[in-house]
Copies of this chain bind each other. A is one copy, B any other.
């Protein structure tokens, strides 16, 4: 039997940590992160955690490398402080898309991240919507992966009439997710077919597999980074006769000029979750609707701590 639950918030997403603690009815465990002028950090846990059941909340978001190092240092500090069990709660997993060796002599960095977390002393991982479900196999420690689809689908059903919608995947190679939504929402599917031509390295949308004519296209993806792929797909389906375009994405990375691009695009709404904090610019963007996964994480953490089944509720 593990000790009392302690929730530590890294510096990545204190709002999410606070929301989770509110759901759980506990205070955030006090800890300090100092960053010196030489950029080195000092992480200190300010409460006794001996044998406690500690959850560290730290999704991957800018500054990305600092966030990873801080997380590893926090886990290391907890281990040497004799924490009973350390669960890294990483709703958006760092380098999740770096999950295969699609070029010679590169690192499968998602696997490296899994190894670094284990080396630093993590006993468990709790994450959400990994880019590939196979990434769960990168861990030798127990890893729970939650799905945001139920929350997103509930929202979609409650807020609109879906009878004329079609789900769209932006790439043949990344069309697995769209299947989950299709099953849940009972909607047809279309897929953008991108090809590489000649020495041109960049893949371009050349065909649309399936049909969007006269329908509202709902593009689904696991993450939106620079927004380029998403906006290109939106324009492509409109050219192919879609009436309107909406998008539903779990992890709102929204880096670089993403907000600017989305504002200038035909996407009329982008539904995301709060696995990552939104930048101020994104919070102000009216097309973006953010749904909270804090309750889902809180319920899961409670079940982990109480030794109840996690799958029975969330993995249907």
Contacts A40-B64, A76-B112, A104-B81 hold; do A134 and B311 have CB atoms under 8 A apart? no
Supposing A172-B178, A182-B193 touch, asked if A142 and B79 sit within 8 A by C-beta, the answer is: yes
Most buried by B among A3, A82, A258: A82
Question: Which segment, of A12-20, A44-52, A232-240, faces chain B?
Answer: A44-52
**Interface residue A215 (Cβ < 8 Å from any Cβ of B):** no
Tell me, in angstroms, the Cα distance from A38 to B138 when the chains sit together.
22
Copies in the complex: 6
Q: How large is the interface on A (under 10, 10 to 19, 20 to 34, 35 or more residues)?
A: 35 or more
Asked whether any CB of chain B lies closer than 8 Å to the CB of A105, the reply is: yes
* Cβ contacts A117-138/B at 8 Å (1 or 0 each): 0011000100000001111111
Q: A156 in the interface, Cβ–Cβ < 8 Å? A: no
The contact string, 1 if C-beta is below 8 Å from chain B, for chain A 196-210, is 100000000001011
* A184-192, A241-249, A262-270, A284-292 - interface stretch: A184-192
Q: Mark A92-123, 1 if CB is under 8 A from B, else 0.
A: 00110111111111111111100110011000
Closest chain-B Cβ to A168's Cβ sits at a distance in Å of 11
Question: CB distance A37 to B226 under 8 Å?
Answer: yes
A63 interface contact, C-beta 8 A: yes
A57 at the interface (CB under 8 A from B): no
